[in-house]
Chain A
Amino acid sequence: MKKTLLPPLIPFVVVALLAEFLVREGFVRAYLLPAPSAVFRAMISSRAELFQALLSTSTGSLTGFALSAVTGIAIAILLSSSRGVQRAFYPYAIFFQTVPLIAVAPLLVIWFGFGIETVIASAFVASVFPVIANTLSGILSTDPPLRDLFKLYGASPLVTLFKLRIPAALPQVFTGLRVSAGLAVVGAIVGEFIAGGGLGSVVDIARTQQRIDKVFAAVLLASLLGLGMFGLINLFSHLMLRRWHASEQPL
């Protein structure tokens, strides 16, 4: 644990100290870049508000992410069932990737109202595609000799799917989930800009009040949330794959 936490902390501390120095000595104006100590003070003084906001954003992004994981994997399984289904529906899955979220967010408000539902929907739209794309590619790239083996023993397509294709796709599913976890937080914040609530709302209001220290405090918390979700996926991935996949073997 020491070895994995310490190396990334060093650049963080160095950059923070540098920023502190630049602001204190007047090289950078404090209304453009707050001193890290000011950000820290903002975090302490607004802790109740920030904690509430973090809780709300966490709920939105985690729920959106969970929806993405479940429906993304289900959609990928359906798409993998036949080439015809894939040709008909995969373009619409790609549509989710290319749709400009910030432009659709107002639409989500119209559909889901000013509340957590819009935030969840926004997190979902932002994060579902990587799950679909990676799971599908994993399911479709099963080793041909292994497929032959299952065919030889008369395994049905359903048995082959659950005993071979899905387990074999798991490393790629986790790759998709890792990307998706970060995007879910981004989607939730965008949703909150429009629908209100959470860290997105804190950023939006603090910005209009010229409270750049508070903006930074909220952004930092949002990043930590993304990092936490990423870590959670890595933990699951490690638990499920450590005994067999190269990505989880010690270097």
Chain B
Amino acid sequence: MHARRVTNTVSTGVVVQLEQVRRVFNNRQVVIAGMDLRIDSGEFLAVLGPSGCGKSTLLRMIARLAEPDSGRIRIEPNDERFQTAFVFQDANLLPWRNVLDNAALPLELMGESKTKREEKARAVLGQVGLLDALDRYPAQLSGGMRMRVSLARALVTEPRLLLLDEPFAALDEITRFHLDVQLRELWQRRGMTVIFVTHSVSEAAFLANRAVVMGRSGGAIKLDRTLQLPAVRDNELRGDPRLGQEMRLLLGAIEE
């Protein structure tokens, strides 16, 4: 299904370059010690690793929500405001706003006019299949629907860099499978750079073009691999032996 390739790209990606990035927690615990990593424009990168290995810290630094203690993070081109979007582990919607107003929030904060931001929010909510829920409040939505609003909110600014921190971890498996396919399609349509932090080996292999496995401490990279899988990912791929092979490789690196 959905084998049709859509070529008109709304936004393009950015290059993310980390140079000797170091982050220390409470002046003692080294979370990331001198990390070098380059993520190419339009790449879909999955970051795997055990709990507490610094995956989330890495993502927060790339989003400029935290500063590295030393080293540099370069994002190129860096000419636009708000080209980065972040999807959190929980949907983190504002419970007093309905679906439409939640999705339009980033544009509102950027000072976009009401008609324009609602038009854009409607369009992106349509892409995640929520057009019939515009007036509903987060308390009236299922976990999967909330996460789709969260995704729509992230995409509404047409970001060139999308960062996701274990976004589907709290959802049931079927919902997660649907969202995986949807996210992959959105990425193919838009061509932005995606960095996806996850605990799930199967999710990483299914979604990404490239996977990085981080070690237990200091943010050391134990494996950096370009996945040998077809470009179009759908639920049929889940039983594919090639996916199993990639999962074995990633799992091996994690448990090493």
Is A154 in contact with chain B by the CB < 8 A criterion? yes
For residue A59, give the distance in angstroms from its CB to the closest CB of chain B. Answer: 33
Task: Tell me which of A41-49, A213-221, A241-249 binds B.
Answer: A241-249
Give which listed residue, A143, A152, A241, A244, contacts B65 with CB less than 8 A: A152
Q: B41 near A: Cβ within 8 Å?
A: no
Residues of A within 8 A of B4 (CB): none
The verdict on B170 contacting chain A, using a C-beta distance below 8 Å, is no
B106 interfacial contact with A, CB 8 Å:
yes
Interface residues in B, total, Cβ within 8 A: 25
What total of chain A residues lie within 8 Å of the partner, measured CB to CB?
23
Over the window 106-127 of chain B, the binary record of Cβ atoms lying under 8 Å from chain A Cβ atoms (1 yes, 0 no) is 1011100000000000000000
Which B residues touch A145, using CB under 8 A?
A: 88-90, 92
Within the complex, the shortest CB–CB distance from A143 to chain B, in Å, comes to 7
What are the residues of chain A within 8 A of B109 when measuring CB–CB? 150, 153-155, 159, 163
Query: Which listed residue (B60, B106, B137) contacts A244, Cβ 8 A?
Result: B137
**A15 an interface residue at 8 Å Cβ cutoff?**
no
Q: When A153-B106, A243-B137 are in contact, do A167 and B86 touch as well, CB less than 8 Å?
A: no
- For residue A18, CB closer than 8 A to chain B, the reply is no
The one of A143, A151, A159 that contacts B92, using a Cβ cutoff of 8 Å: A143
CB-CB contacts below 8 Å: B45-103 with A? 60, 63-65, 81-82, 84-86, 88-90, 92, 94-96
Q: B139: CB under 8 A from chain A? A: yes
Does A146 interact with chain B (Cβ within 8 Å)?
yes
Residues of A within 8 A of B89 (CB): 145
Q: Chain B residues near A245 (CB, 8 Å)?
A: 95, 139
Question: In whole angstroms, how far apart are the Cα atoms of A249 and B96 in the complex?
Answer: 13
| B residues less than 8 Å from A151 (CB atoms) | 65
Once the chains bind, are A244 and B139 in contact (CB under 8 Å)?
Answer: yes
Number of A-B contacts (CB under 8 A): 57
Interface centre among B63, B85, B106, B109 (most CB of A within 10 A): B109
Residues of B within 8 Å of A148, CB to CB, are: 60, 63, 65, 86, 88
Q: A146-B94, A150-B109, A151-B65 are in contact. Are A243 and B139 (CB under 8 A)?
A: yes
A164 within 8 A of B: yes
User: Which residues in window 150-209 of A have CB below 8 A to B?
Assistant: 150-155, 159, 163-164, 167-168, 170
Contact A149/B86 with A154-B81, A154-B109, A244-B139 known, Cβ cut-off 8 Å:
yes
Q: Does B191 contact A (CB under 8 A)?
A: no
Closest to A246 in B: B139
User: Any chain A CB within 8 A of the CB of B138?
Assistant: yes
Whole-angstrom distance between the Cβ of B112 and the nearest chain A Cβ: 11
Question: In the complex the two chains form, is A153's CB within 8 Å of B138's CB?
Answer: no
Nearest-CB residue, chain A, relative to B66:
A148
Complex Cα–Cα for A146 and B137 (A): 17
Q: Is the CB of B82 within 8 A of A154?
A: yes
Answer whether A164 and B94 are a contact pair too, CB < 8 Å, given A243-B139, A244-B139. Answer: yes
Cα–Cα, bound, A114→B137 (Å): 51
Which among A146, A153, A164, A170 has the greatest number of chain B C-beta atoms within 10 A? A153
Residues 115 to 158 of chain A near chain B (Cβ within 8 Å): 143, 145-146, 148-155
A152 touching B63 in the complex, CB below 8 Å, given contacts A145-B92, A164-B94: yes
Interface string of B136-151 (1 = CB under 8 A from A): 0111000000000000
Taking CB atoms, residues of chain B closer than 8 Å to A168 are: 94
Q: How far is the CB of B103 from chain A (nearest CB, A)?
A: 13
Please name all residues of chain A whose beta carbon is closer than 8 Å to the beta carbon of B64 when the two chains form the complex.
152
**Structural contact, A152 and B110, CB atoms closer than 8 A:** no
Q: Do B84 and A152 touch across chains, with their CB atoms under 8 A apart?
A: yes
A201 CB to nearest B CB, Å: 44
C-alpha gap A243/B93 in the complex (Å): 14
**Chain A positions within 8 Å of B60 at CB level:** 148
Cβ of A170 to closest chain B Cβ, rounded Å? 8
Chain B residues closer than 8 Å to A164, beta-carbon distance = 94
A85 to B71, CA, bound (A): 35
Which residues in A have their C-beta under 8 angstroms from that of B63?
A: 148, 152
On chain B, the residues within 8 Å of A241 by CB distance are 96
Chain B residues, Cβ within 8 Å of A159? 109
A243 with B84: CB separation less than 8 A: no
Q: Is the CB of B82 within 8 A of A244?
A: no
Contact of B96 among A143, A153, A154, A167 (CB under 8 A): A167
Offer 13 A-B interface pairs, CB within 8 angstroms, sorted by A.
A145-B90, A148-B60, A148-B86, A149-B86, A149-B88, A152-B64, A152-B86, A153-B82, A153-B110, A154-B81, A154-B82, A244-B96, A245-B139
The 4 closest A-B pairs by CB, nearest first: A244-B95, A153-B109, A145-B88, A145-B92
A: which residues have CB within 8 A of B?
Answer: 143, 145-146, 148-155, 159, 163-164, 167-168, 170, 241, 243-246, 249
